């Protein structure tokens, strides 16, 4: 976990607090649409590239309408990319049959499927990040809970998110004081590590005890109430079914190919 990420997570909250047409949509509509998007995208055959292009529309629309800076999403996608690249990069080595021919230049199936993996990674990650940036953790959890997520787990997500910053702050204070006192000795040995992280753990637990006391003092009876009652409006239905219709069309017919044939006139 890089340090930079911590500040960005606060940025995500800021973005989620905006008020735009997509922010106003019910979280469930956005969750279901994003799920349909990912499933439709991943159900293509592994060599598909051109048919994936229409799918760019979904994250682009969320990002544009939700007033989310494109660079912010892009940077987060790049940071998360290594795993997909590492696994995908093997495809060109193991699949060398030519699959695409442009003039006398042949591209092997492996490079094609690698490109397909990278595009799909960018699109799925982008859609997920855009979803969170225009919904926010609170509405997301409330939506998930109303879709059947056990309450204990929804509450756990909210608690975790709320105390991420607090405990991370303590962790970074510890790290900083360690760096100041033990110059050149970083990273520390196992024994010192045990006591450092152990102290962090004990502090976290002590804090949870204080939180609990404060909750009890305010009438906590073992049940957390999530106070977010939204109902599906016509805009939510339109959003959800509009996108599902679009995904179905784009999944069934290759829109890019059709456009290309119409404009380039190279009907085979």
Partner 1 sequence: MHMADALISPAVGGTLWVVSAGLIAYCARKLKQTMRDNLVPMMGVLGAFIFAAQMINFSIPGTGSSGHLGGGLILSVLLGPHAAFLVIASVLTVQAFFFADGGLLALGCNIFNLGFFPAFIAYPFIYRPLAGGAGSVSRSWIAAIVAAVVGLQLGAFSVVLETKASGISELPFGTFVLLMLPIHLAIGVVEGLATAAVVSFVARTRPEVLAAAPVAAEDKTGLRPVLIGLAIAALIVGGAVSWFASTHPDGLEWSIAKVTGKEEISGSDGGIHRKLTAVQEKTAFLPDYGFKSAEAAGVNAEKASAESAAVESESWPAVTAGTSVSGIVGGLITLGLVCLIGFVLKERRINV
Q: Where in 95-134 is the site for partner 1 (CB under 8 A)?
A: 95-104, 106, 109-110, 113, 117-118, 120-121, 124-125, 128-129, 132
Closest among 166, 145, 125, 143 to 41, alpha carbons compared: 125
Using rule CB under 8 A, residue 226 touches partner 1: no
**CA distance linking residue 129 with residue 78, whole number of Å:** 12
Per-residue interface string for the shown chain with partner 1, residues 177-216, x marking contact by CB under 8 A: -x-------xxxxxxxxxxxxxxxxx-xx-xxx-xx--xx
Strand partners, 106: 101
Instruction: Provide the token pair at 90.
Output: 């093997």
- Of 127-166, binders to partner 1 (CB under 8 A) are 128-129, 132, 137, 140, 149-153, 155-164, 166
Instruction: Provide the token pair at 182.
Output: 């033990």
Least distance from partner 1 to the Cβ atom of residue 206, Å: 9
Using rule CB under 8 A, residue 15 touches partner 1: no
- Of 46-65, binders to partner 1 (CB under 8 A) are 46-51, 53-54, 56-57, 60-61, 63-65
**CA distance linking residue 142 with residue 158, whole number of Å:** 10
Least distance from partner 1 to the Cβ atom of residue 41, Å: 8
- To 10 degrees, the CA torsion angle through 68, 69, 70, 73? -70
Using rule CB under 8 A, residue 244 touches partner 1: no
Is the Cβ of residue 106 or residue 241 nearer to partner 1 in the bound state?
106
Using rule CB under 8 A, residue 71 touches partner 1: no
> Is the bond preceding 248 in cis, omega lying within 30 degrees of 0?
no
**CA distance linking residue 204 with residue 218, whole number of Å:** 21
Please identify which residue in the block is written with the tokens 């339109």.
238
Is the Cβ of residue 117 or residue 231 nearer to partner 1 in the bound state?
117
């Amino acid at each position: 976990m890089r340090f930079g990420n911590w500040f960005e997570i606060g940025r995500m909250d800021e973005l989620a607090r905006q008020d735009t047409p997509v922010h106003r949509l019910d979280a469930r509509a956005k969750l279901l649409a994003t799920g349909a998007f990912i499933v439709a995208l991943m159900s293509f055959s592994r060599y598909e590239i051109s048919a994936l292009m229409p799918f760019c529309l979904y994250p682009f629309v969320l990002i544009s309408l939700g007033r989310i800076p494109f660079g912010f999403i892009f940077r987060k996608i790049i940071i998360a990319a290594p795993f997909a690249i590492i696994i995908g990069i093997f495809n060109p080595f193991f699949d060398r049959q030519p699959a695409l021919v442009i003039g006398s230049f042949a591209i092997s199936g492996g490079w094609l499927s690698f490109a397909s993996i990278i595009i799909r990674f960018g699109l799925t990650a982008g859609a997920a990040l855009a979803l969170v940036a225009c919904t926010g953790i609170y509405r997301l959890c409330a939506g998930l809970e109303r879709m059947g997520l056990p309450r204990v787990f929804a509450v756990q997500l909210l608690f975790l998110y709320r105390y991420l910053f607090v405990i991370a702050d303590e962790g970074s204070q510890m790290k900083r004081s360690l760096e100041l006192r033990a110059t050149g000795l970083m990273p520390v040995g196992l024994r010192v590590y045990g006591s450092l992280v152990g102290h962090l753990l004990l502090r976290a637990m002590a804090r949870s005890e204080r939180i609990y006391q404060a909750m009890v003092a305010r009438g906590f009876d073992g049940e957390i109430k999530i106070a977010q009652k939204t109902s599906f409006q016509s805009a939510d239905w339109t959003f959800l079914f509009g996108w599902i219709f679009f995904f179905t069309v784009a999944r069934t017919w290759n829109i890019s190919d059709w456009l290309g044939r119409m404009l380039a006139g190279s009907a085979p």
